[in-house]
Amino acid sequence: MTKLSVNINKIATLRNSRGGDNPNVVKAALDAERFGAEGITVHPRPDERHITYQDVLDLSEVVTTEFNIEGYPDERFMEIIKKVKPAQATLVPDPPTAITSNAGWDTVKHEGFLKEICEAIKAEGVRVSIFVDPDPQFVMGAKNCGADRIELYTEPYAANFHKDKEEAVSHYVAAAVKAQELGLGINAGHDLDLDNLKYLKEQLPQLDEVSIGHALVCDALYMGFENTIQLYLRQLK
C-alpha cells in the first residue's frame, strides 16, 4: 500500500504570517498522524520562510511515523540530517530563492556531487531519495549515485492530467518500470490532489509513498483536516 506523507510546510507558512505559534506545527504533525497519515514531510529552506530549523528539531522529538526531510544538500541541510537522523532525506535541486520545487535533478551531470552526498547520508543510517523528472536516464543516474529511492516530480503530470491523463502519466510509468528494474523504491510528489492522485496510483502500483502538502492543506480549509487526510488515503487504496 502506498503511504501518505503529509507535508506541513503550509502550516508553518500560515503561522509565520502572523508571528507567534498559531497554528502550531508540532500539533499539526501529531494530529496528521492521529488522523491516519503514515509520514510527515518538511522542507526547511535557508530563509526559514515556512519550516524553521528549530521546527525540524522539535518535530524529530515527537514524530512516530516516517519523518522525511527534503532540501538542497548544502552544509546546513547535511548538519541537520546528521543530527536528526530522519527515516528519509529527499534531495532536491532547489536554489535558495526558489518558491517551490520546479525540476528534478540531472543525476547524470551531478553524479559526482550526489554520490558523495548519498554516501554521507546513508552512513548515518538514513534512507536517501533523489527528486527526479520522469526520465529513465535520470532514474538510472539516481541508482548510480547510490540512492535508495527516487521521488518523481509530478507537476507536469498534474498540469496535463485533465487534457490527456494517459499521455500525462506515460512518462511516469516508464520511469517507474525502470526504477523497479533497478531495485529503487518509488516516491512521488508535487501538485498531487484529490482529482489526479487515484489515477497515478492505479498506473503506478509499485508506488511506495506520496508527499502532499499544498493541495491537502487547501482542501482542509473547506473539509477539515481529519476528513481531508482520510479522503487522500482513500485515493491510495
User: Which positions are catalytic?
Assistant: 43, 70, 190
Q: 89 burial class (0-12, 13-18, 19+ CB within 10 angstroms)?
A: buried
β-strand 66-71 against 88-91: which pairing, if any? parallel
Nearest C-alpha neighbor of 55 from the set 116, 117, 8:
8
DSSP 2: P
A 10 A CB-CB count for 21 gives 10
Strands 149-153 and 185-189: parallel
DSSP letter assigned to residue 184 = -
| Contact between 228 and 216 (Cβ < 8 Å) | yes
Task: For residues 20 and 81, give the distance between their C-alpha atoms in angstroms, rounded to a whole number.
Answer: 26
